[in-house]
């Protein structure tokens, strides 16, 4: 057998002793010697052989995995539907309910049709919504973002009138409103940071005046949180929180969103203002700066591939931390499940729980309604 490379684990010892006898001798002679060696080197020995084919162990981690009730009782990560935010796309026009091709199951709504989705969310227990606008007309300076009759301003007024219990958060950025698709005012082929900050502050104030409960700047311009805090406070909106997209990476995961919002840049990319995905210390720096400027909540975006950054930011700041599970994450799960490669429900639960486990307190996701249902059912949270 040895010549043919068949493993031989038992051999005749010439003493007519069977395997059980040899095992007993080993336990008596060799095991104490091995245990002593481990103890001398500081290795704790928590398991011993009791002679009845069972290990005598004091510590058995599997004890706390024995049943569903027990597993839920000892969970380290807790989730609640109140921490979910659903991103919704509102388009100029009427009677609009358009499915987004790159995000099956997600839709663009007009102001007169968005109510059906808001009602669904509220019934599911999701009471917070992030509004993204799609204007009819775009220009070089993104004036639709801060117009009194802009698409988001109209959506806020309608939503707060019909659903006063809804908590309305507004994304503050220029990319959906500029004709070139960049997140600010251009100077040549570069985004002019300081001129853009002025317009972002103007936009945030306009949203607060229209009824926004919270504003969320996503542009990644330097100093915009401070400018927004100043203009809100100066106009009496001292209680309007700022959730800053402080740690926002230049990511390929955003592609479906740009299709949904029509916000792809007409030239170049956004790497001169969004972060390099090779960096994590830079993310901590951005988060700390925004807290100093007055941010009440810090966001990390995307979520799935950046849980290490999320964990570092959570340790560094003493404000709530949000994570945005972006369009590409949604599209990947949706496509893989439709192809039969994964089970969608399980992927939704696992990715959400992992974000909370990494440190997020607030989770922005297109699966908010489903997650709220899974929490209610006890499948997660």
Q: What is the pLDDT of residues 102-131, one digit of tens each?
A: 999 999 999 999 999 999 999 999 999 999
Mean pLDDT of 227-252: 97
Confidence band for 210, pLDDT divided at 50, 70 and 90: very high
Share of the chain above pLDDT 90, in %: 72
- Beta-strand pair 84-91/186-187: unpaired
Residue 26 has pLDDT above 70, yes or no: no
Mean confidence (pLDDT) of the chain: 89
- Residue 3's pLDDT is what? 43
Q: What residues are annotated to the active site?
A: 248, 301
- Residue 95's pLDDT is what? 98
Mean pLDDT of 294-309: 97
Boundaries of CATH 3.20.20.70 in the chain?
A: 82-377
Confidence band for 167, pLDDT divided at 50, 70 and 90: very high
User: What gap in Å lies between CA 156 and CA 210, rounded to an integer?
Assistant: 6
Mean pLDDT of 336-364: 98
Mean pLDDT of 64-83: 91
Alpha carbon distance, N-terminus to C-terminus of the chain:
55
- CATH fold, domain 82-377, is TIM Barrel (3.20.20)
User: What gap in Å lies between CA 372 and CA 370, rounded to an integer?
Assistant: 5
- Residue 8's pLDDT is what? 37
Share of the chain above pLDDT 70, in %: 86
Least confident of 135-144, 203-212, 342-351, 366-375: 135-144
Residue 325 has pLDDT above 80, yes or no: yes
């Amino acid at each position: 057998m040895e010549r043919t490379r068949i493993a031989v684990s038992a051999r005749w010892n010439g003493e007519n002793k069977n395997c059980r006898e040899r095992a007993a001798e080993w336990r008596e002679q060799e095991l104490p010697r091995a245990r002593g060696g481990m103890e001398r080197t500081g290795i704790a020995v928590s398991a011993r052989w009791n002679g009845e084919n069972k290990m005598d162990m004091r510590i058995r981690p599997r004890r706390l995995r024995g049943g569903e009730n027990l597993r839920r009782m000892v969970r380290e990560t807790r989730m609640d539907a109140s921490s979910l935010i659903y991103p919704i796309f509102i388009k100029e026009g009427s009677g609009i309910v358009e499915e987004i091709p790159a995000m099956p199951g997600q839709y663009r709504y007009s102001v007169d049709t968005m109510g059906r989705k808001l009602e669904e969310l509220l019934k599911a227990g999701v009471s917070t919504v992030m509004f993204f606008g799609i204007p009819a007309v775009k220009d070089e300076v993104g004036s639709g973002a801060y117009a009194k009759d802009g698409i988001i301003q109209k959506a806020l007024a309608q939503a707060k009138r019909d659903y006063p219990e809804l908590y309305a958060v507004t994304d503050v950025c220029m990319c959906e409103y500029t004709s070139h698709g960049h997140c600010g005012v251009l100077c040549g082929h570069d985004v002019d940071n300081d001129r853009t900050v002025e317009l972002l502050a103007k936009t945030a104030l306009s949203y607060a005046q229209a009824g926004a409960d919270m504003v969320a700047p996503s542009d990644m311009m330097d100093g915009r949180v401070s400018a927004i805090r100043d203009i809100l406070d100066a106009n009496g909106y001292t209680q309007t929180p700022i959730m800053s997209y402080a740690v926002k990476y230049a990511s390929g995961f955003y592609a479906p969103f740009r299709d949904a919002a029509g916000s792809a840049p007409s030239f170049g990319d956004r790497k001169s203002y969004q972060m390099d995905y090779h960096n994590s210390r830079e993310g901590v720096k951005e988060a700390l700066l925004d807290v100093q400027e007055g941010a009440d909540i810090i966001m990390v975006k995307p979520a799935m591939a950046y849980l290490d950054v999320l964990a570092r930011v959570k340790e560094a700041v003493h404000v709530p931390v949000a994570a945005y599970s972006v369009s590409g994450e949604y599209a990947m799960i949706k496509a893989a499940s439709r192809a039969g490669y994964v089970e969608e429900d399980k992927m939704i639960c696992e990715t959400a729980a992992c974000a909370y486990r990494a440190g997020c307190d607030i989770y922005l996701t297109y699966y908010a309604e489903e997650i709220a249902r899974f929490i209610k059912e006890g499948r997660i949270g």
